[in-house]
Every structure is written in C-alpha cells, then in structure tokens.
A = this chain, B = another copy of it.
Amino acid sequence: MSGESTVDLRVPLGRGVELPNPVGVASGTFGYGFEFEQLIDIQRLGAIYTKGTTPQPREGNPPPRVAETAGGMLNSIGLQNPGVDHVARVYAQSFAQWRVPVIVNVAAATVDEYVHCVRVLDTADGIAGYELNISCPNIAHGMDFGLDATAAGRLVGTVRGATERCLVVKLSPNVTDIAAVARAVEDSGADAVSAVNTYVGMKVHLAMRRPVLPNRGTGGLSGPAIKPLALAAVARVRAAVRIPVIGVGGIATATDALEHFVAGADAVQVGTASFADPRACLDILDGITAYAQRAGLARLTDLRWQPAPLPA
C-alpha cells in the first residue's frame, strides 16, 4: 500500500525484445503511429503494433467500412496500407527514432508473401518484431492460415526460418479450437501470440434490405461487446501454451486490462477504445501501474487465475 513503485512492468517477448511495459496499441487502430504522435505521448507505450502491412500497397475496401453495433463496431477496411516497401524504406526511419518498440503487423495471402514481407522489413532498422496477422476477416484468404492449425504451424515455421526477429502470431477467434492453433504456432517457433483479432459479424441496413458493409456483407467485430469472448479465448490460449500471450479485445479501461491479466495475458493491446478516446492507452497504463502499486504486486502476471485442473 506504499507509494513506492515496486512493480516490474517489463515484458520479455522473446528474441531479446523486451517491452518497457505491457500496454500496447492494437493493429489497425493506431495506424503507424503518426497521427497519434500528434495527439499523445506515444513514446510511453509498451509497443505499437502497426496497421496490417501487405506485400503491395492496398487501396482498401469500398465504403462504408465501419458500422456501429451495441457496444461494438464492425470494420471492413480491407487492409488499406502503403505496402511493405514503403514501410521499410520510409516509415521505419521514424520508428528508429522512437523509444517505443514498433512491431509491424504483416498480412499476406501465401507463405511466400509472408516471407517476402519479413525479408523486406528485416532490412530496416527500428522494427522490434513482427505480428503475423493470420486472422483478417476482411480480405479474401485473410483468415486461411488462422483457421487451420496445420497451415498456421507451417506458415510460422517457414517465416521463423526467414527472420531472427521476434515473431508474434495474431490468432483468429473464429475457430473451433483456438488452443490448437496457438499450440501449433508455438511449436513452430512463434515467440508470442496475440489473442484475439475481430469476430466475423454483420450489420443489416433494413431499409436497403442488405448488409451495411460491402462485398460479403461482413466485417470484424471489436470493442466492449467482445471483451467476454476475448477473455475466454485468452484463458484458453494461456492454458495451451507457455510463450507470452498478448490479450486483445474490448479493453477500454485499466480494469479491462487487468481482467485480461487475470485471464492469462502477459501484455495487452488497446484497440477500438483509442478511437473514442485517444488517451485511453496512456490512461490504462497509468491505471494499471497505480493498481499494481496499491495491490503490492511484483508483476502484473501475479494477478493470473490458476484454474483448477479439470477432470478429463
């Protein structure tokens, strides 16, 4: 209960990458940091996970691309991004000046494309690691790897052979057995997993008698509505792997973040909450630090729930 800070916020993520604190910002909700840099002190963050970056530049999907639901939002951005070359050549120069670790979220359609992206990015400084996005619901084949443990394992194994940098794998929750995918990517050399990406959802435009979002009519659901689903997924993944688990989904307050630690997270990402409140990530960092100090925690992972072993 003393005012002295005894909590150790650092998160070793693997391959020599150590996050200064566990509060990162989720891919696709923070761009490449350049807008937020003008709004808040991004250097205080634990990590920036960039927008999903693809081999070629992408224009993204036709509008509308976002739609609100009860306690959540759907997005179908379609991975609009400037492509891996631009990120390596231009953006990474800024990353190299920053104190905050930047982890580039990489999305692609084939194993070769993932390898290509990582190779290009490996040539640039200022990149702490990669988050392999095998779980994007908004492009064709975006989830192919994320829905199949065997394919995911093969992909990660190959990418592991191509880079020495830290590899985080972003898991899709749209599966029967997220634990199996997590185990497969751990076995193939992933340094950490992040859970979860968005859930496939639909909003209907009644007057038009069709979905609001274009193409297949679906988008990815995020926000407070999915927090209970994400917490269940994190707990399940936690029980399946030994590598760090980065909890993502519905985190808008310090309490939400702490709940992810109870469920089993080693670090967290703040996503949708940054839209309505650009300072949310920093407030969460301050909030969990204060909580840890009040509670006399040595590490935030001390909060972790240890479920009793289940009868088989």
A residues contacting B by CB (< 8 A) are: 69-72, 74, 147, 174-176, 199-204, 206, 209-211, 216-218, 221, 224-229, 231-232, 235, 250, 255, 258-259, 262-263, 303-305, 307, 310
Contacts and interface: CB of A to CB of B under 8 A. Distances in A.
Given A206-B262, A232-B202, A235-B217, A69 B310 contact: no
Contact of A305 (B200, B210, B225, B232): B210
7 contacts: A71-B72, A199-B229, A200-B229, A201-B231, A202-B235, A206-B262, A218-B232
A206 B175 CA distance: 27
Contacts of A218: 232, 235
A224 B221 CA distance: 13
Nearest to A250: B70
Nearest to A231: B202
Nearest to A69: B228
A35 to B, nearest CB: 26
Contacts of A70: 71, 224-225, 227, 250
Contact of A228 (B72, B216, B259, B303): B72
Contacts of A250: 70
A203 B216 CA distance: 32
Centre residue among A147, A226, A232, A250 by max chain B CB count within 10 A: A232
